[in-house]
Amino acid sequence: MSDEREQIISLVSAARDAGARQSLACDIIGISAKTLQRWCQSENEGDQRLDTQREPANKLTELERRRILKVANEPEYAHLSPAQMVPILADEGRYIASESTIYRILKSEKQLAHRQKAKPVRQVKKPKALTATGPNQIYSWDITYLPTAVKGVFFYLYLVMDIYSRKIVGWQIHEEEGSALAADLMIDICRREAIGRDQVTLHSDNGSPMKGATMLATLQQLGIMPSFSRPSVSDDNPYSESLFRTLKYRPDYPDKPFFDLQSARAWVEGFTEWYNNKHRHSAIKFVSPAQRHAGEDIQILSARHQVYVKAKSENPLRWSGETRNWNPIKEVHLNPEKQVADGVTDRAA
């Protein structure tokens, strides 16, 4: 019996001998009368509470742990995960431990990492969020196939657009894909648009023409910052994808394949003329890409606003609220980190 219990029993006995009730003395000390009675029984001396079982009865011995680690690091199993090791060992008529036990032991030994000889899957981060507040700040480009009269043979349309104005700033059609051809196109665009160093960011996917040595060297020489989509993620380059859809769903898109390069170039030239100068783009308040690229959309949208204000003043009963919002789009976002503010659109086409 512990010294504390002996002291409590002695104090209660002294109180009881002095005429106090045992139950009241126990209440003052903070124990029940039944606890005191149990303590006073000789067979209940000592702490009768069950001790916490700190080690499970089926705990692996140190020899068993070493055996599991030895097997897990053998050449035929060192590159496998426990999930793969267990069934293979079972096929060989061997059982060393459960899958979860092997995982737990490898984790404790800091061996629960990539165990295969092949390189682990590379974690590719989302492209940096970009915002254009004016023309000639962010370009997007891609290559699409144009069918030819020969099955399995295609022409390749290289097309670059300004995401702020949606204007097609340059295009070429060739019989092959190549980094050098893309570099020539960018040199031509920079000359026509008077692009200075560190002015434009060029976004594209991860195709070989986009990341070829000639193209990257040309961009560095021109002072253009490249930006790339994640592999196999088309949403990272939405403006070019949307433009190609607009191109191929035009009512006048040829039903038959292009006969030669001249016919393909002639059609794309007509499409570019329509798209840049006549197409009223819904994402930029229904002005043409050429008008927005030249900064003419400010005056056009202001004039539209005045038309609506005048119409409302002449017949206010027909207007239940404010007039239509003709404010120009001030920012265009590429791969934004979060949803952009109300009133700003990220629609591509």
Q: What's residue 256's pLDDT? A: 92
Task: Write the DSSP symbol of residue 44.
Answer: G
The dihedral of CA 211, 214, 217, 222: what is its sign?
negative
Task: Mark which of 262, 284, 306 sits at the end of a domain.
Answer: 284
Residues whose CB is less than 8 angstroms from the CB of residue 127 and which lie 6 or more positions away in sequence, other chains included = 203, 227, 228, 229, 230, 236, 334, 335
Domain of 231, CATH number, reads 3.30.420.10
Sheet of strand 168-174, all strands in order from the earlier edge strand to the far edge:
168-174, 154-162, 138-147, 201-204, 225-228
Predicted confidence pLDDT, tens digits, the chain (349 residues): 567 788 888 888 888 888 888 888 888 888 888 888 888 876 655 555 555 556 777 788 888 888 899 988 888 888 888 888 888 888 888 888 888 998 998 888 888 776 666 666 666 677 788 999 999 999 999 999 999 999 999 999 999 999 999 999 999 999 999 999 999 999 999 999 999 999 999 999 888 999 999 999 999 999 999 999 877 666 778 999 999 999 999 999 999 999 999 999 999 999 999 999 999 999 999 999 999 999 999 999 999 999 999 999 999 888 888 988 999 999 999 988 765 444 444 445 5
Is residue 30, in this structure, part of any structural domain at all? Answer: yes
Is residue 18, in this structure, part of any structural domain at all? Answer: yes
Is residue 196, in this structure, part of any structural domain at all? Answer: yes
Within 223-288, where are the H helices?
238-248, 261-277
- Is the domain of 160 the same as that of 276? yes
Structure tokens at 294: 């030249």
- Is the domain of 235 the same as that of 316? no
Task: Write the DSSP symbol of residue 130.
Answer: E
Q: What's residue 47's pLDDT? A: 55
Q: What's residue 343's pLDDT? A: 44
CB 81 within 8 A of CB 56: no
Is residue 243, in this structure, part of any structural domain at all? Answer: yes
> What is the C-alpha to C-alpha distance for residues 246 and 284, in angstroms, rounded to an integer?
16
Amino acid identity, position 85 = M
CB 302 within 8 A of CB 326: yes
CA nearest to 82, candidates 93, 95, 96, 72: 72
- Is the domain of 171 the same as that of 298? no
Q: What's residue 261's pLDDT? A: 95
- pTM equals 0.64
Give the angle subtended at the CA of 229 by the CAs of 223 and 234, to the nearest 5°: 140
Give the angle subtended at the CA of 288 by the CAs of 167 and 297, to the nearest 5°: 105
Q: What's residue 244's pLDDT? A: 95
How remote is the C-alpha of 306 from its chain's centroid? Answer: 43
Q: What's residue 116's pLDDT? A: 61
- Is the domain of 104 the same as that of 199? no
Structure tokens at 300: 């056009």
Q: For helices 179-193 and 213-222, what crossing angle results, to 10°? A: 20
Structure tokens at 124: 């590719």
How remote is the C-alpha of 319 from its chain's centroid? Answer: 44
DSSP string, 177-224: --HHHHHHHHHHHHHHHTPPTT--EEEE-S-HHHH-HHHHHHHHHHT-
Q: What's residue 339's pLDDT? A: 57
- Burial of 91 from C-beta contacts in 10 A (0-12 / 13-18 / 19+): exposed
Is residue 90, in this structure, part of any structural domain at all? Answer: yes
- Is the domain of 203 the same as that of 310? no
- Is the domain of 213 the same as that of 145? yes
CB 164 within 8 A of CB 132: yes
Q: What's residue 216's pLDDT? A: 95
> What is the C-alpha to C-alpha distance for residues 323 and 11, in angstroms, rounded to an integer?
91
> What is the C-alpha to C-alpha distance for residues 134 and 165, in angstroms, rounded to an integer?
8
- Ranges of beta strands (E only) in the chain are 130-132, 138-147, 154-162, 168-174, 201-204, 225-228, 332-334
Strand partners, 334: 130
Count of domains forming the chain: 4
- Is the domain of 19 the same as that of 99? no
Q: What's residue 113's pLDDT? A: 74
Strand partners, 172: 158
Is residue 272, in this structure, part of any structural domain at all? Answer: yes
> What is the C-alpha to C-alpha distance for residues 146 and 261, in angstroms, rounded to an integer?
10
Tell me the residue range of the domain where 307 lies. Answer: 289-331
